[in-house]
Amino acid sequence: MDELADDERSRLFDRFGRTFDAGATIYAEGDEAAACFLIQEGRVRLVKRIRATERSLTVLRPGDLFGEDALLRGARRSASAVALTDISVLALDRQTFAELLAGNREVSLRLVEQLVRRLRDAEEQLENAMLRDHPSRVVNTLLRLAAVTPAEGPEVSLQLSPLELSSRVGLDVDTVKRAVQQLRDGGYLRIMDERIVLPDLGALQRLYELLGTKEEVRGGVI
């Protein structure tokens, strides 16, 4: 949490800090929700079991909050949380979390912003669920992310791994990789490490509209 001074962050970690190795389960779906977590270092994957299949819901980074169901009395975990990398977190029960918010306005604002972002992400996933073809889902997600990402000149650079993109799109990683490769072959994006570079948002928007027109022709007006 960048809003906290170094000494306060250190004091909080001494009291509430926990570490997990990469691959460790922080909590499992159905567990009693006793604490929420603020990521200090590393990345966390939230996973939901749907029948016999596990689906990634999102990938979280430093500064993100997860396990908010612990803020409700008697709640149980609605999803599992798994450490993607070695991580350090603050584990906060309801009372401690409330005290932290009451004592630091900047932290409160940061968390409200995050909750708003989660709502926007849910809206994006709902919209993707209504799109039938896989490329449209990927392009829609890239356009939404680009709209809230500062541009670097004429280009927009998104820090996004295949797993993170898969979680947002709502498709398996291999399917998303194939769609991304098609976009790459068409010159709509470039891949640099774990960044997706979009050189021409206008061209990507026109592609999205074209894909929608083709879908309507194939299946009738949606």
How far apart are alpha carbons 43 and 211 in whole angstroms? 33
Pairing of strands 44-50, 53-60: antiparallel
Mean pLDDT by 10 residues, the chain (222 residues): 62 89 95 92 90 81 89 90 95 86 77 78 75 88 88 85 85 90 94 89 92 68 42
pTM: 0.67
- Supply the pLDDT for residue 43: 94
- In this prediction, residue 176 carries a pLDDT of 92
Residue 81, token pair as written in the block: 């949380």
Q: What is the DSSP string of 167-205?
A: HHHTS-HHHHHHHHHHHHHTTS-EEETTEEEES-HHHHH
Query: How far is residue 134's CA from residue 193's CA, in Å, rounded to a whole number?
Result: 23
Spell out the domains of the chain, with CATH numbers in brackets. Answer: 6-125 (2.60.120.10), 130-219 (1.10.10.10)
Q: Output the pLDDT for position 222.
A: 40
